[in-house]
Amino acid sequence: MLRALDQWTREIPVVSARGKITDRNGEVLAGNQTAYSVYARANAVEDPDAAAHVLSALLEKSFEDTKKLLTDKSRSEITLLKQGEKSVVQQIEGTNLKGVYYARDNKRIYPYGTLASQVLGFTAMGSEGTTGIEKYYNEYLAGKNGEILYETDLVGVELEGASAAYTPATDGMNVRLTLDYRIQAVAEEVMGRVLETSQAKGARCVVIDPNDFSVLAMVNLPSYDLNDPPRTEIEKLNALSRNRLISDIYEPGSTFKIVTAAANIEETLRGNKDALPLNHIYPSSRTRSVDGTTIKCWSDHANGKHSNQTLKEALNNSCNPCFVDIALALGKEKFYEYLKAFRFGNSTGIDFSGESIGMLLPESTVRDCDLARIGFGQTIAVSPLQLACAAASAVNGGYYYTPHLLKEIYADDGYVFARTEKSLVGRTVSEKASGILAEMLEGVVRDGSGKKAFIEGYRVAGKTGTAQKYENGVIAPGKYVSSFLGFFPANSPKYLALVIVDEPQGTYYGSALAAPCAKEIFEGIIKIMKIPMSS
């Protein structure tokens, strides 16, 4: 019965409107533009040659290809044009061709083009989400198409005076993100400049709110225009559309010292006799010998540099041997408790596909030389998001939340279907330890290697990082990752940013290259949010 009905009816699709994607303020980042699609039923086309001449000219297709479509009776319906302009459809309508009809469609548009392209993702010709948020929340954004059902004769020609059955479309719901397009735009502008001036392979930045781990900005450069993705160049498209802040991993280097310092401070406060006291004086030697291997500081320690430091000074100077001492003093079992509490080796749980869990050596296989290197950010690989979340927890009072991009899902009439609430995963350190660490990291920006992130009148804190890259298990000469992880205000963090410049040419130290980027981004946030100076 159903098959017979199909043979005697003609369906015209009623396309649903895909839900909008907005930033936290309601600014539309992905929306729709009215378009039209043209269809034909070969059985109902009266004169294929004449129709092909007219349509091939209007649709800018070859006569042969158009006629082949119009005479293809193996299918009940042929799509001649997808998401075309209204002017083209109006011309086709004026020809009054039998067996040819059109329907309203929607074309996906991205008003800001390249903005947050790897976060938003794109759709397959305006319908199903293919990447990013478009894919992750597709079931809510997509909606459900309706149809108009006309009665026809056996060859598919509409019967004169026949009635039509109408099933309305159900539009998709809207997705409001935690992103702030203004902060995103500032971060993209800053990172775009450093990408160009340093001739780097890539430039990335993530900005989060340490109070709930909502993502305020995610920058992955180089980027691409969401309105014109290189769909025919699959390898290029995959590379440009990849959200490397979530999916890729790297050895973080000295920014990881934030985690090592946090663990030691907490254990000191707990009275652990193995932990090194806050006033402990670290030996001035440039090297440490562990398991027969020699670990060096980046500095030559000449002329009294890095001599007899405290933990605060070791952070200022980013002195590797001091953090080797901390890791070894805490021991494998205790240090791994903190690594796991900070979620290394696990996903953060962010609402985005393809998250990496990083690379953490199994505890049972770790030697002292491995543990020593983990202490200053080697022999461990993390995603940038993992590191940002760990640092946020270390300085926000010790609270680790689930990071998220979704603020709410809502309908056009204002009905809120779902809203993301702050979700506590666990505690990492105490509020007292967190406060001590934040104060030390403020000193890094005020007096140490992070000076180029200093902003007069604002309490900025952070840590620089410069990591060598490895290829095929050996150090790749001349290839570095420059980074800075900072936050403000230091005494009550509201904004935290991780800046990464991948394989810069020329200057490559995080203190010289990444720290100034963080300063510019923070200055942009201060201007946008009209944040007054600290009293």
Q: 457, 465, 456: which is closest to 515 by C-alpha?
A: 465
Among 396, 381, 360, 380, residue whose Cα is nearest residue 214: 396
Which residue, chain included where needed, has tokens 């022999």?
A: 379
| 484/387 Cα distance (integer angstroms) | 11
CB 385 within 8 A of CB 217: no
* Rounded to 5°, angle at Cα 110 from 105 and 113: 140
- Amino acid code (one letter) for 191: M
Per-position b or e across 276-290, b if 16+ CB within 10 A of its CB: beeebebeeebebeb
Q: Which of 241, 254, 383, 511 is catalytic?
A: 254
Crossing angle for the helix pair 431-447 and 257-269, to the nearest 10 degrees: 140
The C-alpha atoms of residue 145 and residue 126 are separated, in whole angstroms, by: 13
Phi, psi of 55, rounded to the nearest 5 degrees? -70, -40
Task: Give the contacts of 157 (CB within 8 A, at least 6 positions apart).
Answer: 43, 44, 98, 99
Q: Is 254 a catalytic residue?
A: yes
CA distances from 239 to 128, 217, 256, 276 (A): 20, 20, 27, 44
User: Residue 401: which of 211, 259, 258, 216 has the closest Cα?
Assistant: 211
Angle at 219 between CA 213 and CA 220, to 5 degrees: 125
What SS3 class is residue 122? coil
CB < 8 Å & 24+ apart, contacts of 442-448: 442/490, 443/312, 443/315, 443/316, 444/315, 444/316, 445/486, 447/316, 448/315, 448/316, 448/317, 448/318
Residues 409 and 174: beta-carbon distance below 8 Å: yes
- Residue 374: name the closest of 361, 385, 364, 365 by CA: 361
Known catalytic residues are 254
